[in-house]
Structure formats: C-alpha cells, structure tokens
Amino acid sequence: MNIRAVVLLIVFLLLFSLLVGRVGYIQFNKTVNGQELEGIAEDRWTRKYPVEGKRGTIFDRFGDVLAEEIPSYTLVAILDKNSRNRVEDPKLTAEKLAPVVQRNVEDIERILSTGLADGRFQVELGVGTKNLSLETKREIEELQLKGITFRKEPRRYYPKQTFASHVIGYTERDMSRARMGLESSLNEYLDKEDGFIQYLSDRKGIKLPNIEEVIETPQNGFDVFLTIDSNIQMALEQIMSQVEERYEPERMMAIVADPKTGAILAMSNRPSFNPNFYEEITNYTNFTISSRFEPGSTMKMYTLAAAIEEGVYEGSELYQSGSYQIGGRRVRDHNQGLGWGKIPFDEGFQRSSNVAYSILALEKLGPDRLYYYLDRFGFRASTGIDLPNEASSLIADSYRIDAATTAFGQGSAITPIQQIQAATAIANGGKMMKPYIIDRMVNPNTGEVVTKTEPTIVGEPISSTTAKRVLELMESVVTSPAGTGKPYYIEGFEIAGKTGTAEISNPNGPGYLSGHGQYIYSFMGVAPRSNPQLIVYVAVDRPKIEIYEQGSAPVSQIFTSVMKHSLQYLNISPNARATGTQFIDEGSLIEDYVDETTLSAKAELENLGLDVHVMGTGNKIVAQVPRKGTMLLPGEKILFKTNSTTFPMPNITNWSLRDVMKLADLLELNANIIGTGFVREQSILPATEIEIGDYIVIELTLPNQMDVDVSLPVEEEEEDTKIITMD
C-alpha cells in the first residue's frame, strides 16, 4: 500500500509539474502550437463587418451616367426541410418563376427537384436569375413564393447600352476585373477600397458596453467626366447602326471633335457591342485609335496646306492631268488615267487628282519639305490621346515614289485620330490641338477635382491665312460641280471637306484588293467653314454597295446626318454668317398659318423667298409643314393643306428626302423610300388625285447619279489610286 501510494504521489507530482510548467510556458510565451493567444481571443470576441466602397462612375460632359455601380440580386431557393420558409412545390414555383426570368419551366423544376432529392440547403437557378434589377426582384417578390429569397451584390451597369462602347470598355459584372477602354486604363482611379466596422462582443455577438468601435471608412473610386456629348454620340450610334444594317461593311469608324479645343464629342466603331453583355463581343479594337491604314485622298488636305504655306501653290496654274511618270512607275488619276485635260490645280483638288498632288510633292515642294510638314502635322508621332492602345503611324519615305504616293494618301498608313488632330490646325486658324476625351476626375469622398484636362496647342504647322485658304478649297470640293464631295452637301450650311478612297492590301498576296466596293471610303468634314465648330471624320471599310452605288453613299449618310443634327443641336442655324465667334441668322421664323386664307399666306411667304406648295384647291389652310417656330432659308419648301375635298399629286422630281417626308406627313401618305439623295421617280404620277393614307413608292438618287444608266457599272467618282510598274 505504501509503495503504491508513493508511486501514485510521484506520478501525480510529475503530472502536476508538467501542467504547471506548461501553464507557465504558455503564460510566458503567450502561444499555443505556434498560435498567439491574444490573436485567438481577439478573433473569438471581435466582430468585424465589411463596409463596401463604390467603384467610380463615368459621366458624359453634362453629367449623364455612362457607367455606374448598382445593386443587383441573385435569386436563391431555400430547400432545407427544417426551414419554415422553403420551397414546398417545385412545379408550382417553376411555373410562376419561368415567365419572369425567361426560363423554361422544366429546367427550373428539375433544378429544384434535384436539390430537394439531394438534401441541399439551398440552390441557385442559373441563367436569368443572376444580376437581377430591383424592378425584377420586386416583380418576383409580388409572386409571394415560399422559399424564394435574394442575395444582394454590386455589379457594373452601362445604362446607355451600345454607346461609345470601345471608349468606355467594360468590367466583369462583379467588377473583379476591368477590361478594355477607360474602365481598364483608369482602373487604379476608378477602383474602390472597402472599409469595415470592428468591435468587441460577447459569445452571442452582442457588442460589449462602453467599448469603442473601430471604423475604417471605405474609399470610393474617382468619378470620371468625359468630353463625350450624349446627344451627339447617340445620333452617331443610331445612324451607324442603320448604315451597318443596310451595307454590312467590314468595319466603320467615326469621330466628332471640337476643333477649338481638341475635345472629342463623339466616337464610335462598328462592329460594336453592349458592355452589359460582354460575352457577345466580336470586335475588341477601337479602330479610331488602334488601327492604321492608308488614308486615301483626305491626305491631300495636308499636302495642299504645306504647298500654300511654302508659297509654291498657284491655284490657277494649269497642269496636265491623267497620268504622271515617276522613274519607272506611273501614277494615274482615278478615271482610268484619262484625266480631264489641262486643268488648274484648284480643280485638281476638287476632282481629287492624284497627278496634281504628285506634281506638288515632287516638283513644287520637294520630298524633304513634304515630310517636314507631315512631321509638323504630327503624322510621325502618336497624338497621346487619353485612351489606351493608340497605334503608331507608318510613313513611307525610302524612295522618290513614296513622297508622291504619301502626298495623295497611299503607301503610308496613319490613324483616324492623327487625322483629327491634324485637321484641327486647318479648322482652328493654324493652331493644332491635342485630342482628349477625359475632361476631369473628381474624388467623390471630398468633391476635390483630382485632374482637369485643359486644351493644349501641340503645334502651329500653318498660318491662319493658309488655314483659311485650305478651308475655302475644301468647301469647293462640296459645292463645285467638279467636286467629289457633292454627296456631303447639307442645304444651308457651310460644309468644307475632303473625300478619301483608300486601297486595301491584299491579305492573300501582293498588291491591293480590287473590285466594286473593295476600298475604305472616308470623308473629313468641317462646319461652318467661316468659323468651324465641328470636325467629323467617317470611314467605311468595304461596304456591300450595289453596282450603281458609289462608295460615298454609306459615308455621306453618316456624315450628313450627324453633322446636321449636331449643328442644329448646337444652335448653329443654317446659312448662319460668322462675325467673330457670333452667328447672325439669315433665315425666317415660320408663324402659324392655320385658318388663314391660302392666297394671303402664300403671297407673304413667297415674298420671303420661300418655295410654297399648296395641296388642294381650298381657300383656307387647315395644316402646314413645317410647323410654327421652324427656321427656313430662302428657297426652302413649306407645304399647306387646304380645306379641299381633292388633292392632286404634285410633281416631286428633284425634291429632297426631307421635303418628301414633309409631304408624307401633311397628307398622311404611306411612303416607301428607295435609295438616298433626291427624287428621281414617283409611283403616283403628277396631277393624279390622291387620298389620305395612299401608298406611294419614291426612288431617290444622289445628284451625280441622276443621269446615269443604272443598268451599267458606274465608275467611282472618288479617287482609287493605281500605280503601275512600266516595263
């Protein structure tokens, strides 16, 4: 007994010593198995809840939201048999949910039934039930379905859908990764930092009394304000979508800029995409920034400016058009090298003669001075615009022939944004403005403007006198009977511009693609010529045009629509006369003539120089188009509908589409319009009695196609350069 007692005492003392030693060790080192006790205690008694920050919002120049973080909801179905709020009838739940989330009833029922069979606590229903809007969430809640609940989570949303998509770019829906455009390049400024609230609690999570909270304030991302004008951008997007649907080009690009500042007011590409559905993207390239190609004859603007600035250009001097020998090679004009005989250089610019600009480059300026001015116009350097992935140019200057071809837009490749920058010098009195699209960034936490972009002059390649002369010649391209820019004429506005038709390298072999429509068609336009407020550049690559259509057809539809809309939106009236920076209106504001006598109203308006058309034989006016408050220029049409019982069809040959729509509106005609331009044929003959609601087919044709036999191929009036090696 004593021996056993002693043994037990010794064992007990050993164990007690070990325990005391262990406790002392822990007390001294404050660690257990390598883990610090203070940290374990803090984790057990400390509650920490995240406070989410918000990714910065992207706005247009007036504060309209282009990209923002919004709450979204993911639908969750509770299946736990121990829960009072659970899905009890999968079939009924699926039948009510399916129409709202646009899913198949059988699919939803299968997911719910499988989850129940597997004993799942809850399930998500997949496609159509994630990233739900608040409106959809409320619609589902109104169904009062047991077991259906929601998980709230933030997501990135683009409210204007397909709108400057390549400029803005996109993030993944949960904003875990920024992709493309400004979303990517400005991610460090737009990105947020989450905060938290931390406090000590008891084991039930209840905050301990008299304990201060630790609060880390979340940091929201900076808000970004662009120079984009949503009104102009939306007009551009709409017309580009229409042209894309009709002509199915390989690609399109367009830029609208303010020549006084370099601010980009609109920028778009096709193919485009809706950043809310980024899985469907087929084109990741912002062609206006990241693509370079041979510009075609828009390049002649800058060669012309260089020749005028150097004093070697004489517009009335004659030269022999048609073809021009350069060593062992020959440059030909676009009409199969036939030319137009001996013509002055001014007419050569209007007709876009390649020969004229080969002579200017080699005989008047010389290659060295030509390249000197190309450098001054910024064609060898990137513009530095605040958009990612700007491409560089490729200027051909190895051989004598390179100077000639570069002068008229072939052989060298440049980007659209380089052309816009160079064009600001011509439109802004010789001062070349750096293009930019970010106006400012603002810290939403403090309201502080973090960065602000100011207009920057990046060079003065030409004088104001030269710029004015170039603009005058560019206007003649649009207004002269010989000009290649007639399709870009906008009634009443001073449009100055230059056409371009660029050849495309053959991807399957040497040389260029050939055939009708196998070119990049473009136009660089400025308005109003006397005091430019806008620059619009449009390029369309290989549109599917009919054999009787010119490449200018899709380009002119985009340009004229956007330019006219923008000028009117900016309150620049038709035919406005510039005095400094002010515009004096030369039109007439139309009054309301309804209920007035036909003869007196007609006489009054004809005295103003307007073209008045009276529908019917009545003596009293019952309707008019345009309506009260419209500004009309001398020569524009105003249509009156009288209190007549019969309405003879007028002869509308040579009427513009705008005037045709006035007639259709006034008489409620169902008009089927074919083509673009001016009326060539009408299905209801003149003087035929018509009734309200009649159907009429109207065929339109561009001015330079009016006398062309459409059964035969039409030579491009634009300039497609051919360089032939002589044996």
Residue that terminates a domain, selected from 626, 644, 662:
644
Q: What is the mean pLDDT of residues 586-613?
A: 83
- Parallel, antiparallel, or unpaired for β 31-32 and 329-332? unpaired
Domain membership flag for residue 29: no
Q: What is the pLDDT of residue 43?
A: 60
Indicate the residue type of 155.
R
Question: Within a domain: residue 50?
Answer: no
Q: Are 526 and 426 in contact (CB under 8 A)?
A: yes
Q: 424 by DSSP, 3-state: which? A: helix
pLDDT digits (tens, 9 = 90+) for 124-161: 888 888 888 888 888 998 999 989 999 888 889 999 99
User: Is 322 within a domain?
Assistant: no
Asked if 204 and 47 count as a contact pair (C-beta separation under 8 A), the reply is no
Mean pLDDT of 219-236: 94
Specify whether the CB–CB gap between 355 and 297 falls below 8 A.
no
pLDDT in tens, 31-42: 666 666 566 556
Global confidence as pTM? 0.73
Mean pLDDT of 203-224: 74
More confident of the two residues 107 and 511: 107
Amino acid in the structure at residue 587: G
Give catalytic residue positions.
297
Domain boundary among 120, 144, 159: 159
Distance between CA atoms of residues 53 and 379, nearest Å: 43
389 within some domain: no
**pLDDT tens for each residue of 56-113:** 999 999 999 999 998 888 899 998 888 888 898 999 999 999 999 888 899 998 999 9
Q: Which residue has the higher pLDDT, 138 or 345?
A: 345
CATH number at residue 601: 3.30.10.20
Q: At what angle do helices 300-309 and 367-376 cross, to 10 degrees?
A: 110
Higher-pLDDT residue of 433 and 548 is 433
Residue 431 has pLDDT above 80, yes or no: yes
577 pLDDT more than 90: no
Mean pLDDT of all residues in 549-567 = 93
Cα–Cα distance list, 300 to 266, 319, 436, 661 (Å): 25, 17, 25, 37
Q: Which of 138, 159, 180 is the last residue of a domain?
A: 159
Query: Each residue of 697-710: pLDDT tens digit?
Result: 888 775 544 433 32
Residue 573: pLDDT over 90 = no
Q: What is the pLDDT of residue 194?
A: 79
CA gap 151, 132 in Å, rounded: 10
C-alpha dist (Å) from residue 485 to 69, 263, 558: 45, 26, 14
> Over pLDDT 90: what percentage of the chain?
50
If you average pLDDT over residues 631-648, what whole number do you get?
Answer: 82
Looking at residue 68, its amino acid is E
If one counts every other C-beta atom within 10 angstroms of the C-beta of residue 506, the result is 12
What is the model's pLDDT at position 80?
A: 87
> What pLDDT shows up at residue 421?
98
Confidence of residue 492 (pLDDT cuts 50, 70, 90): confident
Count of the separate structural domains present in the chain: 2
Domain residues for the domain of 103 are 65-159
CA angle in degrees (0–180, nearest 5) for 546-550-554: 85
**What is the structure's pLDDT at 37?**
58
Q: Would you state the pLDDT for residue 154?
A: 87
Whether residue 192 lies inside any domain: the answer is no
How much is the pLDDT for 705?
45
pLDDT tier at 569 (50, 70, 90 boundaries)?
A: confident
SS3 of 454-495: CCCEEECCCCHHHHHHHHHHHHHHHHCCCCCCHHHCCCCCCC
Q: Is 280 exposed, middle or buried (0-12, 13-18, 19+ CB in 10 A)?
A: exposed
pLDDT at 583: 45
Mean pLDDT of the chain: 86
- Is residue 690 scored above 90 in pLDDT? no
User: Which distant-in-sequence residues (6+ apart) come within 8 Å of 85 by Cβ?
Assistant: 78, 146, 147, 149
pLDDT for res 197: 75
Does residue 604 lie within any of the structural domains? yes
Q: What is the mean pLDDT of residues 597-608?
A: 87
Q: How confident is the model at residue 5 (pLDDT cuts 50, 70, 90)?
A: confident
Asked, as a colleague might, if the bond just before 271 is cis with ω within 30 of 0, I would say: yes
Using CA atoms, how far apart are residues 615 and 667, in angstroms rounded to an integer? 9
Q: Is the pLDDT of residue 585 over 50?
A: no
**Where residue 129 sits, what CATH number does that domain have?**
3.90.1310.10
Q: What is the mean pLDDT of residues 538-565?
A: 93
3-state per-residue secondary structure call for 246-301? HHCCCEEEEEEECCCCCEEEEEEEECCCCHHHHHHCCCCCCHHHHCCECCHHHHHH
Query: Is the pLDDT assigned to residue 234 strictly greater than 80?
Result: yes
pLDDT of residue 722: 40
Q: In which element (H, E) is residue 697 found?
A: strand 695-701
Helix (H) or strand (E) holding 449: strand 449-452
Please give the pLDDT value at position 44. 63
Both tokens assigned to 454:
């100011």
pLDDT on residue 214: 72
- Taking only the tens place, the pLDDT of each residue in 184-211 is 999 999 998 877 677 667 666 566 676 6
Check pLDDT > 90 for residue 635. Answer: no
Answer yes or no: is 538 within a domain. no
Say if CB 680 and CB 699 are below 8 A apart: yes
Domain for residue 601, yes or no? yes
Handedness of CA 714, 406, 455, 160 (dihedral sign): positive
Contact 726, 702 (CB under 8 A): no
Strand partners, 31: 36
What was the pLDDT predicted at 717? 38
